[in-house]
Amino acid sequence: MPSWNGLRGRCCLTTEADLAERPPGTVPAPEVPDSRAARPCFELAFRRDGSGRSFVGAQYVRYPVHVGRGLHTDGAAPDMCVVYLQSVSGGLFEHDQVDGRIEVAAGAAAHVATPASTVVHAMSGGSAGQTAALIAAPGALLEYMPAPVILFPGSHLRSRTTVSLAPDALVLVAETFLAHDHAGGGDGFARFESAVDVSDEAGTLLARERMRIDGDAWRAATVAVAAGMRVHGSLWVLRRGAGDVLHAALLDAAAAAEADGAYAGASRLPGDAGVVFRVLGPDAVSVERAQHRAWSAVRTVHAGRAPALRRR
User: Per-residue pLDDT tens for 27-55?
Assistant: 444 344 454 457 899 999 999 999 999 99
Residue 250 falls inside a structural domain: no
Residue 33 falls inside a structural domain: no
Model confidence pLDDT, tens digit, residues 10-22: 333 333 333 344 4
In order, the DSSP letters of 159-226 are EEEEEEE-TT-EEEEEEEEEE--TTSS----SEEEEEEEEEETT--EEEEEEEEEEHHHHHHT-TTTT
What is the extent of the structural domain holding 65? 41-227
CB 4 within 8 A of CB 89: yes
How many domains are contained in the chain?
1
pLDDT of residue 27: 40
Which is it for strands 156-165 and 191-200: parallel, antiparallel or unpaired? parallel
Query: What's the CA gap between 70 and 82, in Å, rounded?
Result: 6
Residue 297 falls inside a structural domain: no
What percent of the chain clears pLDDT 90, i.e. is strictly above it?
76
Model confidence pLDDT, tens digit, residues 222-239: 766 777 789 999 999 999
**Residue 54, strand partner residues:** 48
Indicate whether 272 pLDDT > 70: yes
Indicate whether 293 pLDDT > 60: yes
pLDDT of residue 12: 31
Coil, strand, or helix at residue 144?
strand
Model confidence, pTM: 0.86
Residue 310 falls inside a structural domain: no
Model confidence pLDDT, tens digit, residues 82-134: 999 998 898 999 999 999 999 999 999 999 999 999 999 999 999 999 999 99
Closest Cα partner for 279 from 312, 230, 239, 243?
Answer: 230
Query: What's the CA gap between 65 and 276, in Å, rounded?
Result: 28
Residue 259 falls inside a structural domain: no
Residue 121 falls inside a structural domain: yes
How far is Cα of residue 82 from the mean position of the Cα atoms in its chain?
A: 16
Residue 85 falls inside a structural domain: yes
What percent of the chain clears pLDDT 70, i.e. is strictly above it?
86
Residue 279 falls inside a structural domain: no
The chain-wide mean pLDDT, for the chain, equals 88
- Angstrom CA distances, 288 to 81, 123, 140, 311, stand at 22, 27, 25, 9
- Angstrom CA distances, 71 to 2, 26, 86, 169, 177, stand at 18, 57, 14, 21, 27
- One-letter amino acid identity for 75? G
